[in-house]
Amino acid sequence: MTDAAKVEWTLSGFGDEINDDPAQQIAVLQALGANHIEVRSAWGTNIVDLDAQELSALKELLDAAGMGVSAIASPIGKVDVTLPVEHEVERLRRAANAAHVLGARYIRIFSFYYGEDVAVESIRDDVLERMRALAAVAEEKNVILLHENEKDIFGDTPDRVLDIIESVASRALKVAWDPANFVQVGVKPFEEAYAKLRPHLEYLQVKDARFADGVVVPAGEGDGDLLRTVGALKADGFVGFASLEPHLAGAHGLGGFSGPTAFGIAARAFAKVLNEAGVETK
């Protein structure tokens, strides 16, 4: 049972926002007090495309540094919904293999892009078919999928995220909470999403943004309601991963970049939020 006087979350971060070299990723994260890493790419290659030798080399680096892996930050579901179901199922199998090699329990996924002239309601059945197929693989491979509320995918609003989770109804599909992405689609994260999604919220991605221009900013400096959310999670008894994904120097289709200096700014900003809410990290 959690000690009410001392709540600890496990700090992690997207290593490739620091540098392509995983050795540099590890060094910066550990200097900032994190002993876990979220792996999206290494040596400039996406996690689902690393071969067996590269995964083994990455595992050796992590083990030598005493670094755990909080999640595999896969690109699964960041494709058009018209692609065949098996396209992403096969990539998820590779992501699950990476998770097993690196000792990770979680795999981040998305719920599919669609054309600009396509009504979002019209793709619901196709999205659910694919999400059920992905959840079935996750159950088979004993991993947990974390759906991220990325902008411009089917599950970008709280209601559609909830629709996915409740319709698929799998023990292997949970919510990754990204407040900045909610802000960028005009949603007030705490007021409009927290109560709906808290029962399924498994993992916190630390990113903030402004309503005025959609620009990503350090935690607590935007409209993502980070302090209220952290406080509510603490009160709810959440004990899990908080993963820094700053995006402070730029973003692209498959991720973002910050560099070591901006990543440090992001880490210190989040530490300030945690301190005010009375949450420690380990």
For the chain, the structural domain boundaries read 7-281
pLDDT tens column, 120-164: 999 999 999 999 999 999 999 999 999 999 999 999 999 999 999
- The candidate with the shortest Cα–Cα distance to 77, out of 137, 144, 134, 160, is 134
- Model confidence pTM above 0.85: yes
pLDDT tens column, 233-277: 999 999 999 999 987 765 545 556 677 898 999 999 999 999 999
Q: Determine which of 55-64, 140-149, 173-182, 247-256 has the lowest per-residue pLDDT on average.
A: 247-256
First to last CA, the chain: 17
Residue in this structure with the two tokens 């023990």, named with its chain if needed = 171
Superfamily of domain 7-281: Divalent-metal-dependent TIM barrel enzymes (3.20.20.150)
| Cα atoms in the Cβ-side hemisphere of radius 13 Å centred on 125 | 1
Query: With DSSP H G I counted as helix, E B as strand and the rest as coil, what are the percentages for the chain, rounded to 5?
Result: 45, 20, 30
